[in-house]
Structure 1
Amino acid sequence: MTTASPTIRSPRALAWHRRGTAFVDFCREFAQHRAGMVGLVFLVIVALVAIFAPVIAPASMLDVTKLVDVQRFAPPSWEHPLGTDHQGREIWVRMVWGARVSLLVGLAATAMSMIIGTLVGIAAGHFTGFFGGLMMRIIDFFLVLPSLILAIVLSSVLSRGVWTIIIAIGLTSWAGTARVVRAQTLSVESRDYIERSRALGAGHWHIIMKHLLPGVLPLVLANTTLTVGSAIISESTLAFLGLGDTTLQSWGSILKNAMDVSAATSGYWWYVLVPGIAIVLVVLSFTLMGRAVENITNPTLRSR
């Protein structure tokens, strides 16, 4: 009678197996956070609405030439669920299309900010001497600069557009992430296995990719969900100031149009309240998700 030999896995296969197991455990723990799940479900609904915007609200509904007989500044009713704007366009239609730009800017700008902040933070924490000090001085320089003012300057200098706002927000909001990543990098650097890797001849690239980057990724992930909300607020602020693309719908541009017609002081409360509540709810949802991820990935918070 022959016995089957045990399956021998390669180190790479074992590493992927551990990662898969860790991901399953993370999803299981995240599902137990009610606040985080509420935020996730709401964001999934908003994302689906943004993706299927052409189906839910065809672009022709925004054509002002076809809205001659529609009442302007119509209050919310069965005929106009969220009211109409100063050109007779349905507010809910503008909100559906505006979700596309707001989420795109929030996610893309956050991705750019996280990549820059992670690379600079790891470099500042790993390298010593002149280069490490230079990286830290660059981080301090961007920390003391008002990010919103710098984003306004970049948006006014560059051509107006969605990608201009993404670049402006991404290039001005990475310093906080870099400082947090640097602190985590210094903590990982002090562990024994880093010293053993150096003693065995590991170079900077190996240490950064194999040890430091996996060590800071949970913190970066938690910080990402919190930064998306700030990016959406920044996009709304820039659009509110008239620095966005006027040909595209966004929640910030809706607030800008409401300010131009003095909606708040003229009694057209729905024109201001609807996009304002939407921005608050989306930012709150990302914050709830961020807190849940932080509780899972941070051993100190998880043990409480």
Structure 2
Amino acid sequence: MSTARQLARRRRAASWQRGWREFRRHRSGVAGLVILVVFVLLALLAPLIADGDGLSVTRATGGVLEPPSTSYPLGTDDNGRSVLTLLIWGARISLLVGLLATLISMGIGTLVGLFSGYFGGWPGAVLFRLTEWFLVIPFLPLAIVLASVLGRSLVNIVIVIGVTSWPGTALLIRSQTLSIKERAYLERARGLGAGHGHLLRRHVLPNVVPMVFANTTLTVAVAILSETTLSFLGLGDPTRVSWGTMLQDAFQVGAITTGSWWFIVPPGLCVVLVVLSFTLIGQALESVLNPRLRDSR
């Protein structure tokens, strides 16, 4: 038994090494990974890089919309707070919302896709129609309605984004499941008496996990954009600083018309860079995990 486990571990290690070698061949994917690591470190080390007291309006020491200077490298906002401090701490909320919302979206989408693709009859049809119904409804109006009903909080924003962004994943997993369940090894397992739970857990799910993993990076980008959009519309958590709330504040005080570019450009640029990094990583992973795409290069 131990020899079989050691062999399985060696195979997994060799598979990870092959995947990493293939990933490193994609320069765009490596560039996206470097950008993402920088932002993740920025978010994790925020308490060491920037004093959290700088987020408080009552403890602001700068002037109103001061341009960049030696004291404030990215200037100040309309409350006299350092834009750089807001930017660093805002990375935590934007990345956290994106990751948590993606976990919810991936969980719902994977389960719905698996069950709708594996089970025939009315259960699969109902789940498929439910997925289509969510796809037909425009994402942004639905998210706005849900956020308005649930209220302005970080948890509610995560829930809203998670429960409105899963249909694409569900369709992707469903199509993959439909292909897998017709394969010969599943028929042999059924013939040996394997039940639905065993087949889904041991045969179908492991084969769709790479697709889920590759799609996760793309969904995180969508979730971060969604959080930014909802916060910009005034539906974010008013007690938390994120890049979206920074953009909303900049718009409300007229940062564009007053020429206060330092208040609106940095958070917008950070959103673009993080979304771009996840997109580049997702494209590289898709090529690594999909043999047909890898062989066509």
TM-score, scaled to structure 1: 0.94
Q: Percent identity?
A: 52
**Which of 11, 36, 43 is matched with 1:43 structurally?**
36
* 2:217 is equivalent to residue 217 of structure 1: no
Matched residue type, 1:134: V
The alignment partner of 1:264 has SS state of coil
Deviation at 1:152, TM superposition (A): 1.2
**Aligned equivalent of 2:57:** 64
1:95-244 alignment runs, 5 A limit: 95-244=87-236
Residues 113-166 of structure 1, C-alpha deviations (whole Å, 9 max, x = no match): 001100100101100011111111111111111122111111111132111000
Aligned to 1:21, which of 14, 18, 36?
Answer: 14
The structure-2 alpha-carbon separation of the partners of 1:202 and 1:14, relative to structure 1 and needing over 3 Å to count, comes to: farther
User: Alignment partner for residue 249 of structure 1, among 241, 245, 248?
Assistant: 241
Alignment root-mean-square deviation, CA: 1.4
2:287 aligned residue (265, 280, 295): 295
Runs of 4+ residues deviating >4 angstroms: none
Q: What is the SS of the residue equivalent to 2:241?
A: coil
**What secondary structure does 2:179 align onto?**
helix
1:15 Cα deviation after fit: 3.4
Residue aligned with 2:256, SS: helix
1, 9, 13: which one aligns with 2:3: 9
Q: Which amino acid in 2 is paired with 1:250?
A: S
Deviations 1:267-289 (A, max 9, x none): 11221111111100000000000
The 1:165/1:54 distance shift into structure 2, 3 A limit, reads: same
Per the TM alignment, residue 8 of structure 1 is displaced from its structure 2 partner at its CA by: 6.8
Unaligned runs of at least 5 residues, structure 2: none
What amino acid sits opposite 2:3 in the alignment? R
Note the C-alpha offset of 1:62. Answer: 2.2
Question: In the aligned structure 2, how far is the partner of 1:64 from the partner of 1:249?
Answer: 12
Cα distance in structure 2, aligned partners of 1:16 and 1:181: 27
Contiguous gaps of at least 5 residues in structure 1 = 1-6
Q: Give the alignment's TM-score, normalised by structure 2.
A: 0.96
Q: What is the alpha-carbon distance in structure 1 between the residues aligned to residue 123 and residue 104 of structure 2? A: 23
Aligned to 1:9, what secondary structure does the other structure show?
Answer: helix
Count of residue pairs brought into register by the alignment? 296
What is the letter of the counterpart of residue 231 of structure 2?
Answer: A
Moved more, 253-262 or 37-46: 37-46
Q: In 2, distance between residues paired with 1:77 and 1:188?
A: 60
Q: Distance in 2 between matches of 1:224 and 1:9?
A: 34
1:91 aligns with 2:83: yes
Which whole-Å CA distance do the structure 2 matches of 1:240 and 1:20 have between them?
44
Distance 1:14 1:127 in 2: 34
